[in-house]
Amino acid sequence: MGGAWSPPALAVAAALGIGLAGLGVLVSTIDPAPASPLRHLFAVPVIGAALRFGALGGGLAAVGAVLTRAPALFVHLEDTGLSAPALEDLVSNVTLLLGGPLVGALTSAARRQRARIDTLIAVQRALVEDAPLPVALARLRALLVTRWAGADLALVVRDGDTLTVAGGDGVVAGSAVARVLATGNSLFVPDIGGGPRPHRVFVAPMLARGATIGVLALERTGELGPRDRAALARLAIYLGLALENARLSWRQRRFTEELGEKVAAATRHLEAVDRAKSAFVATVSHELRTPLTALLGFSELLSVRRFPAGEVQRLAGIMRGETERLTRIVDDLLDLSRLEQGLELRIVPVPLAVAAALAAAVEIFRRGVPTHRVHVDCPDGPCRAQVDPDAFDRIVKNLVSNAIKYSPAGSRVMVSARTDGAGLTFTVADEGRGIPADALPHVFDPYYRAPGAAETARGVGLGLALVKALVEAHGGRIGVASVADRGTRVTFTLPAAP
C-alpha cells in the first residue's frame, strides 16, 4: 500500500496519463471515426495501469479512456443514431470500463496472494531458529512491520501467567488488545479520533488448540478494508499455530536434550558400577583365596604330619580365625545381596546396655591389635539402646576395624557414646591420614574404596555400606567427616531404649 504512491509510481501514473491523452489526440487526428481499429490502442494504457496500480488504477485509466473517446462517439450517435459502428465503439468503451477494474482487481488479488505466501514463509523462517519467546516475537514483529508499511504493529502472547509483548511496554486494562485477549473475538476500531485522517485499528486473536494464546494488533492512518482485516485475521491464526508449533518443538528439543543428558549420566553411572563390580570381584577373589589358602595349607599339614597337641591347637586356632573371616565376608555379601534386592535386613531390636556392648566389641581389638590404643567413652549411669545386639556389634567392629586399618601404628582410636534427646549418638574417631574430600560422598557406596585404600589395607568395600544399612534399619543416621592428616570421625545415631 505504501509503495503505490511513491515517486516512481507517480511518475508511471503521470506517464500513463500523458500517454492516454496523447493517444486520444493521435486517434482523433488519424481516424476519429467510431469503430476505428485504433480504438484498441486504448487498452494498452488501461491494462498497464491495471497491472501497475490494481483496480483503482485500471478503473481510472478506463474512465480516462472513455472520457477521451466519448465526445466523438456522442457526436456520432447524434448524427447517425445507434449505427453498427457506434454500437461497436460503445461496446469497446464498456469493455474498457469493465476490463480495466477487473484486470486490476485480479492483479491485486494475485499480488495479495503472493504477499501472503511470502509472509507465511518468512514467518516460518523467523521461527525456525531456536530463540526465547520475547526474541522470537520481536523478530516476527520486525518482519511484519516491513510487510505492512506505514503501520504500527504489536504482538502479544500469553506465556504462562505473564504476557510477552512486542511493540509496547504492556497491555492496559480495557484496551483493544485486552478485550480481544479476554473475548477471543477480533475487534475493529474505524477511527481512534484526534487526527486529521482516520486512524484505524484491528486486533485479531491468535488461536491454538481452541484457545486464544495471543493477539496481533495493527493500526495505521488510512484504509484498513475488509480484505485487509480478513488477511490479518488469517495471519493471526497462522501466527498462533506457528508460535505454538515453535513452542512445542522447543519443548521437544529441550526434552530430547535432557533425556540425552540423563541417559549419558546413567551410562556413566553404570560404567562406574561395572568397573566397581569388576574391582570387587577381583578383590573378593583375593580376599577369599587368602583364608582358603591358609585353610588348605594347614589342613594338608595336619593330614600328612603329626604335630604335638599344642601345635595342633595353635593351627586349629588359625584355621578357626580364617574360617570366621570367610564367614564374615560371605555374611557381608549375603546382606548386600539382600539390600540390592530391596529386602530389609533382619534385625530384632532389644534394650541393650551400651557400655557393656561397646566394651565387648572393642575387646577383641584391644587384645588382638596391640599396635593401636582403643578408648571407649560412655556417659555415667545406665545408658541403653534399642538395637539388635548382633547388628550393633557388627557396626562397632566394622567402624573400629576401619579406624585401625587406616591409621598408623601407635595412634589412638576413640569410641564414644552420648545421649542426645530421644536417641544415642556414637562416634568412632581415628588419627589416620583422613579421606580425600572428593571420596567422602561415596564412602558408604557398596564396592567403593577410596583412592589409595587398597594399598593401605585389605578389604572389599562392603563394610561401610553395610554399616549404613544397619544404622538406617534402626531408624538412625550416619555421617562422616575427615580432615587430611588429622583423622576421620564417623558419627551415627541409634534409638535409645524406652
Partner 1 sequence: MRGRSPPSSDRTTVVWALEAAVAPPPQWRLGAPLVPALALAAEVGTAALLVAGGWMPPEALRVAGLVALHGALLSAALSRAARSGSPTWSPIGPALVSIGLVTVALAAAALDRRGAVAAPAVLLWLTLAARRGRLGSVGVRRPSPASGMLLGLGTGATLGAHMLLSAPLTLGYRLRADGAGAYLAALAYDIGINVASSELFFRGVLFDHMQRRASFAAAAMVATIGYVGRYLLDPLLPHAVETIAGAVVYLSLLSLACCWLFWRTGSVVPGAAGALTFFAAYRALAIG
Q: Does 321 bind partner 1 (CB under 8 A)?
A: no
Q: Which of 12, 143, 171, 454 binds partner 1 (CB under 8 A)?
A: 171
Q: Does 168 bind partner 1 (CB under 8 A)?
A: yes
175 or 411: CB nearest partner 1: 175
Q: Which of 166, 376, 413, 467 binds partner 1 (CB under 8 A)?
A: 166
Q: Which of 51, 187, 329, 360 binds partner 1 (CB under 8 A)?
A: 187
The separation between CA 376 and the C-alpha centre of its own chain, rounded to angstroms, equals 54
30 or 142: CB nearest partner 1: 142
Q: Which of 29, 160, 223, 310 binds partner 1 (CB under 8 A)?
A: 223
78 or 485: CB nearest partner 1: 78
Q: Does 160 bind partner 1 (CB under 8 A)?
A: no
Q: Is the dihedral of CA 269, 270, 272, 273 positive or negative?
A: positive
The C-alpha cell at 47 is 491494462
**Whole-angstrom distance, CA of residue 348 vs CA of residue 309:** 41
**Whole-angstrom distance, CA of residue 93 vs CA of residue 331:** 111
What DSSP character marks residue 306?
A: -
Pairing of strands 412-420, 478-483: unpaired
H or E segment and range at residue 13 = helix 7-30
Cβ of 29: how many Cβ atoms within 10 Å?
A: 8
CB of 220 to partner 1, least distance (A): 11
CB of 80 to partner 1, least distance (A): 14
Of 42-50, 184-192, 430-438, 441-449, which segment contacts partner 1 by CB under 8 A?
Answer: 184-192
**Whole-angstrom distance, CA of residue 481 vs CA of residue 433:** 12
Q: Does 72 bind partner 1 (CB under 8 A)?
A: yes
Q: Which of 35, 62, 137, 480 binds partner 1 (CB under 8 A)?
A: 137
Nearest residue to 315 via CA among 301, 304, 327 = 301
Q: Which of 115, 135, 265, 292 binds partner 1 (CB under 8 A)?
A: 135
The C-alpha angle with vertex 93 and arms to 90 and 97, in degrees rounded to 5, equals: 135
**Whole-angstrom distance, CA of residue 318 vs CA of residue 364:** 15
**Whole-angstrom distance, CA of residue 350 vs CA of residue 422:** 16
Of 67-75, 122-130, 300-308, 434-442, which segment contacts partner 1 by CB under 8 A?
Answer: 67-75
Amino acid at 42: F
Beta bridge partners of 486: none
Contact 231, 112 (CB under 8 A): yes
Q: Which of 11, 40, 74, 265 binds partner 1 (CB under 8 A)?
A: 74
CB of 99 to partner 1, least distance (A): 19
Q: Does 2 bind partner 1 (CB under 8 A)?
A: no
Binding site residues, partner 1, CB under 8 A: 5, 63, 67, 70-72, 74-75, 78, 134-135, 137-138, 152-154, 156, 162-179, 181, 187, 189-193, 195-199, 201, 203, 217, 219, 222-223, 225-226
